[in-house]
Structure 1
């Protein structure tokens, strides 16, 4: 199941706003106190914390719904577990967690869940506040109605837990929808490769590939190759310059008596200025744009197996600090995850292939590519140039072919294979005649007079081809005038 959250603004009168503020204050106090106790006494189990604190807060906050107290204790347990894990990794410097804000969780017993899901067009909520059940109206928008239409069609379900949160003195209701993955007939095969500033894409339309048109027009067998510009590397370079300028500006205020400087990047003033740069938001926007473009139609999506931390393996041989920083800032895994989630939502399937030798082998002749003056363009020993990114995505497509063909051309797909050991040799597991037969078939893919590379022009319906309707015959043969006319 896929989860999608939609925030809808609430129309809150002044009296209801005071009640929500009181609930938020009590909820935040419970989370803070329980989280500090859990870390100090090493008790992070939600069940144990509920047994210790439920009776105390039930008598202290008598107007607060019982399920809100339970949810506050569970949220404190999650905060404590997260803090202990980060402390174990050395990522925190304080002895206890600081909880600055919370999101109030209403279970199905604390709001009108059953009535809400049976409504065709829900526009109001009933929340259990200190004064009893209080009605609050919604301001739904297009995205909410999009997912609600799926709920009505049975393609999604609404989670029973409702989240109420405040931002800039406005109250929002956050609905969580559990979407069922779609099952669609794939219309194309898409392979993509993530780079520093671009995403290379290769697309094959299945409808035209399997049709009879391919038998006499080979251009439909050629994948559509294009790139999507992301500029992740340029964005990282720009923000690095901005952060360095902020550090230089703040250095004078953090000078020690010895003449050295405090680490400005750990100061509150630096964080206040950096959070306004919106670097993470811009990256996320570009990631979602690429994911939406790749999953526009139901497709079979192919990409490389990146591993858990692909940046570390990429920068292992890089000595330039600036290049290492740009590679670290490229969101490889975030983009892959976004494409996978969007693919399930829209009926596509994503598959991973080995990343071994994708950009170093000619996808036409299956020979090792040689270097040129341009690091992005390689040369095939048979005399043509190959773009490294396009070679990578075409080789991904080849790796999805039957296993015999893969072994006949690619040898072994293991990463630890030694190229020099098999250079110039043949594969004993596949007969030489089989490989020669497949190579002969590949050569027939080339355009010829019998199979042109452009659409064959059929015979026109009228002799002239360009004559207006009704005048075709008159242009080739002069119409005889009747005598006396």
Structure 2
């Protein structure tokens, strides 16, 4: 068994409020921060400056101009400026930037040292030029879980003004010792409407899971709903804005993503396995650049495939990314190119609160050794092989391995319950 030390971070958002004197002090801090940030961002874009350059150019002047600001707030400002400048230059290179220079709209002030703030029971005290101010907050279950379950509170506090509210962002850290068997792999192939998992034990293919997410169908449905709501009306119309706010697309998609990640995490624990995912972010950019219409490009950007990888990275499991090139066009057992796939539709009965019929769309290919595989299964198996073998040689089934593997259909809302089996890999 191999071991890996992994440090995870969690952010807890608190909703707070403050009296009039405290709000006035916070506004003055935010106004000074905004003025400094705008000047630093423009300089960083023009000169492609680093944090060290901004510190050398601006620190002494801003210390004289704002002697009442905490030193660490100024240092956090030029870190923020460099991040915004690099993001703007990236967008400008792709032709997506608006205007010749970035405009600072929303800001979050960072207090990077616990000397300038402290967390109490129901209150966060913050150092300002008018002394210490008290920001009262509403406690919740998530905060108590991280405070009393071995997580350590970071020295960084981020503060944001949102109307009459004060949003406080606390960061918690915890070190995990991850144990895994390098010969056991959970290969993850992320697709538009499903996530296919190929489980390898002792370097041989053991079983395959197909988690039906229907994220692609959800994106299309919400896009059509937004079109109907705004048809013939301006999106600035009050009624249109209210109707668009009621849509819960992001919440529903994130719910599915977290449930899929939880299922993969439990599989990794049960098999002491490495989780191997394709480089979906690079593949997503290529697909978006080749998209022939705005609607298709919108669907690609809304798949949330990169978000699933991000959520898996924040789990106490070992995650490895490998290239996805040719993962669906090569026979995983012989390495030969696959000539083509034939569409197939299978209907299965899914038992939940009530029995319903689910339609599963497959793309099947007959391989050189007589096996019939689905395209998504081929992709997942090849992703696992790219990690297990340095040259990607076809060793999916060992000499004493099974001659048939059943794909198990999983509903992400039911969790890791006994799934429906679907035989799409079969022998002659």
Q: Please state which band the TM-score falls in when normalised by the shorter chain.
A: 0.5 to 0.7
Instruction: Return the alpha-carbon distance in structure 1 between the equivalents of residues 112 and 374 of structure 2.
Output: 55
CA deviation vs aligned residue, 1:435-470 (integer Å, no higher than 9, x gap): 9xx75x457999xxxxxxxxxxxxxxxxxxxxxxxx
Q: What SS class does the counterpart of residue 161 from structure 1 fall into?
A: strand
Q: Does 1:292 align with 2:262?
A: yes
1:378 to 359, 362, 365: 365
Q: What SS class does the counterpart of residue 160 from structure 1 fall into?
A: strand
Instruction: Tell whether the 8 Å contact from 2:187 to 2:198 is kept in structure 1 after alignment.
Output: yes
Instruction: Return the alpha-carbon distance in structure 1 between the equivalents of residues 332 and 191 of structure 2.
Output: 19
Q: Could you say which residue in structure 2 is the equivalent of 1:95?
A: 100
Shift of 1:79: 3.3
Instruction: Tell whether the 8 Å contact from 1:360 to 1:369 is kept in structure 2 after alignment.
Output: no
Q: Does 1:162 align with 2:132?
A: no
Q: Could you say which residue in structure 2 is the equivalent of 1:309?
A: 282
1:161-200 alignment runs, 5 A limit? 161-185=156-180, 189-200=185-196
Q: Does 1:226 align with 2:209?
A: yes
Shift of 1:129: 1.6
Shift of 1:56: 5.1
Q: Could you say which residue in structure 2 is the equivalent of 1:326?
A: 299
Q: Does 1:238 align with 2:221?
A: yes
Aligned-residue RMSD, C-alpha: 4.6
CA deviation vs aligned residue, 1:416-441 (integer Å, no higher than 9, x gap): xxxxxxxxxxxxxxxxxxx9xx75x4
Q: Could you say which residue in structure 2 is the equivalent of 1:423?
A: none
Instruction: Return the alpha-carbon distance in structure 1 between the equivalents of residues 403 and 96 of structure 2.
Output: 61
Instruction: Tell whether the 8 Å contact from 1:202 to 1:224 is kept in structure 2 after alignment.
Output: yes
CA deviation vs aligned residue, 1:172-197 (integer Å, no higher than 9, x gap): 22112333243235697433221111
CA 1:379–1:79 in structure 2 vs 1: closer, same or farther (change >3 Å)? Answer: closer
| Greater share of helix | 1
Q: Could you say which residue in structure 1 is the equivalent of 2:133?
A: 134
Instruction: Tell whether the 8 Å contact from 1:363 to 1:394 is kept in structure 2 after alignment.
Output: no
**Most deviating of 75-84 and 271-280:** 271-280
2:88 to 74, 83, 86: 83
Instruction: Return the alpha-carbon distance in structure 2 between the equivalents of residues 393 and 68 of structure 1.
Output: 47
Instruction: Return the alpha-carbon distance in structure 1 between the equivalents of residues 56 and 17 of structure 2.
Output: 37
Q: Does 1:24 align with 2:30?
A: yes
| Greater share of strand | 2
1:138-157 alignment runs, 5 A limit? 138-149=137-148, 153=150, 157=152
CA deviation vs aligned residue, 1:129-161 (integer Å, no higher than 9, x gap): 2221334444333222333345xx4xx543322
Instruction: Tell whether the 8 Å contact from 2:40 to 2:81 is kept in structure 1 after alignment.
Output: yes
Shift of 1:57: 4.5
TM-score normalized with structure 1 length = 0.61
Instruction: Tell whether the 8 Å contact from 1:300 to 1:349 is kept in structure 2 after alignment.
Output: no
**Most deviating of 1-10 and 300-309:** 300-309
Q: Could you say which residue in structure 2 is the equivalent of 1:5?
A: 11
1:387-402 alignment runs, 5 A limit? 387-394=374-381, 396=383
Instruction: Return the alpha-carbon distance in structure 1 between the equivalents of residues 34 and 132 of structure 2.
Output: 21
Instruction: Return the alpha-carbon distance in structure 1 between the equivalents of residues 67 and 310 of structure 2.
Output: 45
Instruction: Tell whether the 8 Å contact from 1:295 to 1:348 is kept in structure 2 after alignment.
Output: no
- Bigger Rg, structure 1 or 2: 1
Instruction: Return the alpha-carbon distance in structure 1 between the equivalents of residues 139 and 117 of structure 2.
Output: 17
Give the length in aligned residue pairs: 376
CA 1:313–1:351 in structure 2 vs 1: closer, same or farther (change >3 Å)? Answer: closer
Q: Does 1:338 align with 2:311?
A: yes
- RCO comparison, higher one (Cα < 8 Å, 6+): 2
CA deviation vs aligned residue, 1:355-390 (integer Å, no higher than 9, x gap): 545575376999968744526233456766443333
Q: Does 1:361 align with 2:346?
A: no
